[in-house]
């Protein structure tokens, strides 16, 4: 099997004074939360390896791409293979993080259930077992006896991965307050399609494997606010000679007055960056003057599924600075990286697992992710001061299935409050 590498974004920044490893040892402080983010990064790297293996290992790729062929008799089964890979990643995260933080596995949530039915009508609960062999045996039952594919998957699930020290500094958060949202593969459609030669425009890929992300976000079970997150891009860069993909991951922690991120707070990363990210929200912007227009100028990334009304308003305000890209996680990452100022979505088809991790990173950079329609409603009620951020612990009432965890009011992901304000000014007339 070919080895693939991922690298962290390298640059570390913190708004805190950091404790050196020596300081930590001398204080005897149990730096649990920096271990937690390391465990999440580690789990995301393993998930990235599984995602790459499913595309690159012949025995798995065959199962994955079958889905594209219409009308095949085993279509349902191969659709389930993608689900199986998703569930396996979810279980790997539960297993690995749960081993280090016993009990947290009960508060790790995702879209899929781990219950499968195979061709023989047997009900199987997919999980990571004690040994690689046991996991392979269990997976082969779901894969109707395909031992080769089961062995490759089990090997990825049990492999040892080393990640560099993240050097987060000391963070003390009670573990029993933590819930975790996992999206094992965001932008599934791009993942299955597997386009590798898409070209970026202003650093942004509108489609292709670059839009695939693995999202792991931790939130406060009581308040619902995001606390830490990892966004892993398993197909970030392809080597033109070997065709091998390498990944990239980004992380951030925001808790109380602690804000730490793998990116500098003013990092531009070659993109159109917001120059300030901790500006107070401007009050009652008057429209019309040159200064106001300057204030309201921003760049945005949108879903191709955005409504015509919102697209038209944003196009008028942003001109050429409007981009389209696949993947809720990827679009949020474009904001994190400063390629655009905002990601706006007025529809209700993103979910808690799509947003929790990038939201935590944006928060650590002084930005956030607001509930678009709730913010607009508050303004219509005359309350321009309070913005409503997305929360992660409250389901939508009277709804079943995945839609319970939809972001009902849409969203605005932003790094700077002034850009959130500009979006809300612009969309103040849309129906909420």
Report, as residue numbers or ranges, the catalytic residues. Answer: 86, 111, 183, 185-186, 188, 354
Site for Ca ion in 92-151 (CB under 5 A): none
Nearer to ligand 2IP (CB atom), residue 217 or residue 366: 217
Residue 266, C-beta contacts closer than 8 angstroms, at least 6 positions apart: 273, 275, 277
Among Ca ion, ligand 2IP, none, the one that 349 touches (CB under a kind-dependent 5 to 8 A) is ligand 2IP
* Candidate segments 51-59, 167-175, 242-250, 348-356, binder of Ca ion by CB under 5 A: 348-356
Determine if 198 is a binding residue for ligand 2IP (CB under 6 A).
no
Site for ligand 2IP in 164-193 (CB under 6 A): 183, 186-188
Work out how close the CB of 333 gets to ligand 2IP at its nearest, in angstroms, rounded to a whole number.
11
CB 92 within 8 A of CB 128: yes
Nearer to ligand 2IP (CB atom), residue 52 or residue 384: 52
Nearer to ligand 2IP (CB atom), residue 327 or residue 366: 327
Give the residue nearest to ligand 2IP (CB).
303
Among Ca ion, ligand 2IP, none, the one that 371 touches (CB under a kind-dependent 5 to 8 A) is none
Determine if 77 is a binding residue for ligand 2IP (CB under 6 A).
no
Nearer to Ca ion (CB atom), residue 186 or residue 374: 186
What's the 3-state SS for the chain? CCCCCEEECCCCEECCCCCCHHHHHHHCCCCHHHHHHHHHHHHHHHHHHHHHHHHHCHHHHHHHHHHHCCCCCCHHHHHHHHHHHHHHHHHHHHHHHHHHCCCHHHHEEECCCCEEECCCCCEEECCCCCCHHHHHHHHHHHCCCCHHHHHHHHHHHHCCCCCCCCCCCCCCCCHHHEEEEEEEEECHHHHHHCCCCCCCECCECCCCHHHCEEEEEEEECCCCCEEEEEEEEEEEEECCCCCCEEEEEEEEEEECCEEEECCCCCCCCCCCCCCCCCCCCCCCCCCCCHHHHHHHCCCEEECCCCCHHHHHHHHHHHHHHEEECCCHHHHHHHHHCCCCCEEEECCCCCEHHHHHHHHHHHHHCCCEEECHHHHHHHHHCCCCCCCCECCCCCCCCCCCHHHHHECCCCEEEECCHHHHHHHHHHCCCCCC
Among Ca ion, ligand 2IP, none, the one that 350 touches (CB under a kind-dependent 5 to 8 A) is ligand 2IP
Determine if 86 is a binding residue for Ca ion (CB under 5 A).
no
Site for ligand 2IP in 338-357 (CB under 6 A): 349-351, 354
CB 186 within 8 A of CB 232: no
Nearer to ligand 2IP (CB atom), residue 143 or residue 326: 326
Nearer to ligand 2IP (CB atom), residue 1 or residue 309: 309
Work out how close the CB of 354 gets to ligand 2IP at its nearest, in angstroms, rounded to a whole number.
5
Site for ligand 2IP in 284-313 (CB under 6 A): 303-305
Work out how close the CB of 190 gets to Ca ion at its nearest, in angstroms, rounded to a whole number.
11
CB 380 within 8 A of CB 429: no
Among Ca ion, ligand 2IP, none, the one that 67 touches (CB under a kind-dependent 5 to 8 A) is none
Direct distance between the N- and C-terminal alpha carbons of the chain, in angstroms, rounded to an integer:
52
Nearer to ligand 2IP (CB atom), residue 208 or residue 327: 327
Work out how close the CB of 285 gets to ligand 2IP at its nearest, in angstroms, rounded to a whole number.
28
Determine if 183 is a binding residue for Ca ion (CB under 5 A).
yes
Determine if 327 is a binding residue for ligand 2IP (CB under 6 A).
yes
Among ligand 2IP, Ca ion, none, the one that 169 touches (CB under a kind-dependent 5 to 8 A) is none
Residue 265, C-beta contacts closer than 8 angstroms, at least 6 positions apart: 13, 15, 259, 277, 278, 365, 366
Work out how close the CB of 189 gets to ligand 2IP at its nearest, in angstroms, rounded to a whole number.
6
CA distance 50 to 48: 5
Determine if 354 is a binding residue for Ca ion (CB under 5 A).
yes
Q: How many residues are recorded in the chain?
A: 432
Work out how close the CB of 334 gets to ligand 2IP at its nearest, in angstroms, rounded to a whole number.
12
Residue choice 67, 112, 186, 296 for contact with Ca ion (CB under 5 A): 186
Nearer to Ca ion (CB atom), residue 77 or residue 191: 191
The residue ranges that bind ligand 2IP (CB under 6 A) are 183, 186-188, 303-305, 326-328, 349-351, 354
Q: For binding to Ca ion (CB under 5 A), which residues are involved?
A: 183, 186, 354
């Amino acid at each position: 099997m070919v080895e693939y590498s991922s690298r962290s974004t390298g640059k570390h920044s913190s708004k805190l004074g950091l404790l050196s490893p020596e300081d930590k040892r001398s204080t005897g402080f149990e730096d649990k939360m920096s271990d937690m983010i390391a465990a999440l990064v580690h789990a995301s790297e393993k998930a990235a390896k599984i995602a790459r293996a499913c595309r690159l290992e012949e025995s798995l790729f065959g199962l994955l791409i079958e889905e594209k062929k219409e009308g095949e008799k085993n279509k349902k089964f191969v659709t389930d293979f993608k689900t199986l890979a998703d569930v396996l990643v979810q279980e790997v995260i539960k297993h690995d993080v749960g081993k280090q933080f016993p009990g947290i596995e009960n508060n790790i949530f995702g879209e899929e259930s781990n219950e499968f039915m195979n061709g023989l009508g047997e009900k199987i609960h997919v999980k990571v077992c004690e040994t690689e062999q046991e996991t392979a045996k269990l997976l082969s039952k779901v894969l109707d006896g395909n031992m080769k594919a089961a062995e490759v998957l089990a090997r990825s699930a049990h492999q040892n991965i080393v990640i560099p020290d993240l050097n987060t500094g000391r963070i003390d958060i009670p573990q029993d307050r933590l819930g975790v949202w996992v999206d094992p593969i965001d932008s599934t459609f791009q993942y299955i399609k597997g386009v590798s030669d898409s070209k970026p425009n202003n650093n942004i890929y509108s489609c292709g494997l670059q839009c695939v992300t693995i999202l792991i976000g931790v939130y406060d079970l009581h308040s619902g606010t995001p606390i830490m997150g990892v966004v892993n891009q398993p197909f970030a860069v392809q080597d033109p000679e070997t065709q091998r993909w390498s990944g990239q991951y980004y992380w951030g922690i925001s808790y109380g007055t602690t804000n730490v991120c793998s990116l500098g707070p003013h990092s531009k990363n070659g993109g159109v960056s917001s120059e300030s990210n901790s500006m107070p929200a401007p009050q009652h912007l008057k429209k019309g003057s040159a200064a106001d227009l300057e204030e309201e100028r921003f760049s945005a990334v949108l879903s191709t599924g955005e409504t015509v009304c919102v697209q038209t308003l944003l196009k008028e305000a942003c001109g050429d600075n409007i981009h389209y890209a696949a993947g809720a996680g990827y679009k949020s990452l474009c904001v994190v990286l400063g390629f655009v100022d905002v990601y706006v979505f007025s529809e209700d088809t993103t979910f808690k697992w799509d947003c929790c991790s990038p939201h935590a990173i944006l928060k650590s950079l002084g930005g956030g992710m607001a509930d678009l329609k709730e913010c607009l409603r508050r303004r219509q009620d005359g309350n321009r001061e309070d913005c409503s951020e997305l929360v992660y612990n409250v389901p939508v009432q009277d709804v079943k299935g995945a839609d319970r965890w939809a972001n009902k009011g849409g969203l605005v992901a932003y790094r700077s409050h002034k850009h959130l304000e500009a979006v809300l000014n612009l969309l103040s007339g849309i129906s909420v």
